[in-house]
């Protein structure tokens, strides 16, 4: 496949300290998602709020 996009290459500086993550989590607050349709029936996610604790795995189906 031919593409015009260039790969992203990012390197740390030689003297950069290692990243240490001691805490974290993900929070979604009142998220909405829909597919635009003329009949207004394209809603997929409506007002989703969700907290995911560090180390927790969540699947949305």
53, HSE (Cβ side, Cα atoms, 13 Å): 1
User: CA-CA distance, 34 to 11, in Å (whole number)?
Assistant: 37
For range 5-9, the mean pLDDT: 84
Does residue 30 have a pLDDT over 90? yes
Instruction: For the chain, give every domain's residue range.
Output: 24-55
pLDDT score for 28: 94
Give the pLDDT band of residue 36 (cuts 50, 70, 90).
Answer: confident
């Amino acid at each position: 496949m031919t593409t015009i996009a260039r790969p992203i290459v990012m390197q740390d500086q030689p003297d950069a300290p290692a990243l240490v993550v001691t805490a974290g989590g993900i929070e979604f607050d009142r998220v909405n998602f829909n597919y635009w349709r003329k009949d207004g029936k394209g809603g997929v996610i409506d007002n989703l709020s969700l907290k995911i604790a560090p180390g927790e795995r969540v699947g949305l189906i």
